[in-house]
Amino acid sequence: MRSSDSARGDDSVARVALRLVVFCVPLALAWLGLEWGMKRVPNSYSMKRAGLEALSAEVDTVIVGSSNAYFGISPALLSGSAFNLANVSQSLYYDDLLLTQLAPRLPKLKRVLVPISYISLSFQLYDSVEYWRQYYYQHVWGMRPPREEDRTNVRMWSLVALYSPRLSLNAARKGFKASLAPEVDGRGWYPVPAEHFPADLSDEAARVPLARHHGMMHAKNEPANVASLEHLLSLLRQRNVEVVLVTLPVWRSYADGMKPEVWARTQATLERLTQKYGARYLSFLREPRLEAEDFHDPDHLNARGAVRFTQMLNVVLESSGQVAVPPRGDGAVSHSSPDAR
């Protein structure tokens, strides 16, 4: 009696399970359709990947780093064939992963610019409000987030979840013909229009990004970031690629609000690493030739500023003559911009 009840129960549960599967089929198909469609919608990460792959045979200079390099260095204005791989909140962890993956695929690579900002050594992407960006590296480059707990996030596997279903449905309405980063040029640069000109560069305005940055800066992140930087330096030296560490310009209101002890610690680390690996360090932190009209906000250049700065940078980069890789074990080959203060 009991077993027949149980068997009947089995049948019923099985039927319910089957109905559930049937119920889910349209939902799954709709979701898969959106996933397929969203794969066709370019974003800054996929555009950079496609752009770099198209130019991989000729690229000799790669720029990594975060938003200040993404907006602030126009590769077209650098000598040779350069490509900007920087992106918003890109941490040294991802700079290292990107270069580890890409260096072998760029036969002409001779120089890498690694921007070091105020927050570089104490910032981790997963620790910030921009943490969701780490899933783009998974989708576009196959790079897993560093923390185990982030690897079970639905955004790891689903572009629809990453972009949000609402944005995905909007894209579907346009036949997935939209681009999420139409401003990015063929060499990965994002020229920020100077339409908000003149930008608010007051001390009050600088407090906002400074507060945000101080909230994301944690001393506990420094060992991992230094390790990423060392790995990157060591790897590129083995490949005879010159590494230039660069600090991009910020407006004085931002520079004045930086904590001196933190910046001094960064400088000391850079001094040590440039000596150890024979890299160059160029600091344009307080670049006097740039004016208020060159800034989008206190810590980012606009398109005009990026053009002017890249030209200055190119002069300094080329002033040492041919791009030369210091011999291994060489002493300090650390330079500062003549105008840096």
Partner 1 sequence: MSFLSLAFALFLFLGLLMFHLAPGRFRRHVLLALSYAFYVSASATHALLLLAVTVSVFLAARAVERSRTEDTKLGVTAVAVAGLGVVLVGFKCAAWLVETVQAQSAKGGADATLLLVAPLGLSYYLFKLMGYLLDVYWEKVPVEHNFVSFALYAAFFPQIVSGPIQRAGDFLPQLEALGRPDPADLTAGLRRILFGLFKKLVIADRLTVLVAGVHADPSAYSSLELLLGAYCFALQLYADFAGITDIALGLGQLFGMKGPENFQMPFFARNVQDFWRRWHITLSSWLSDYLFAPLRISLRRLGNIGLSMAIFINMVAIGVWHGASWTYVAFGAINGVFMVVSALTLKKRNTFFRTHPLLTRLREVAGPLLTFHLMVFAFIFFRASSVPLALEYVRHLIPGQPGKGVAPFRLDWEQLGLGRSALLGVLVGVAMMEALTWAGRKSDWRDRFLAAPRILRWGLYYAVIVIVVVLGNLETQRFIYAQF
How far apart CA 282 and CA 305 sit, in angstroms, is 18
CB of 9 to partner 1, least distance (A): 4
How far apart CA 248 and CA 309 sit, in angstroms, is 9
Q: Judged by CB under 8 A, which of 12, 101, 234, 319 binds partner 1?
A: 12
CB of 170 to partner 1, least distance (A): 10
Q: Which is nearer to partner 1, 134 or 153 (CB)?
A: 153
Q: Assess 16 for contact with partner 1 (CB under 8 A).
A: yes
Give the range of 11-19, 112-120, 181-189, 280-288 binding partner 1 by CB under 8 A.
Answer: 11-19
- Interface positions, 101-160, toward partner 1 (CB under 8 A): 132, 152-154
Q: Assess 4 for contact with partner 1 (CB under 8 A).
A: no
Q: How many residues bind partner 1 (CB under 8 A)?
A: 21
CB of 22 to partner 1, least distance (A): 9
Q: Assess 166 for contact with partner 1 (CB under 8 A).
A: yes
Q: Assess 311 for contact with partner 1 (CB under 8 A).
A: no
Q: Judged by CB under 8 A, which of 4, 20, 148, 261 binds partner 1?
A: 20
Q: Assess 26 for contact with partner 1 (CB under 8 A).
A: yes
Q: Which is nearer to partner 1, 20 or 182 (CB)?
A: 20
Contact footprint for partner 1 (CB under 8 A) = 5-6, 9-10, 12-13, 15-16, 20, 23, 26-27, 132, 152-154, 161, 164-166, 169
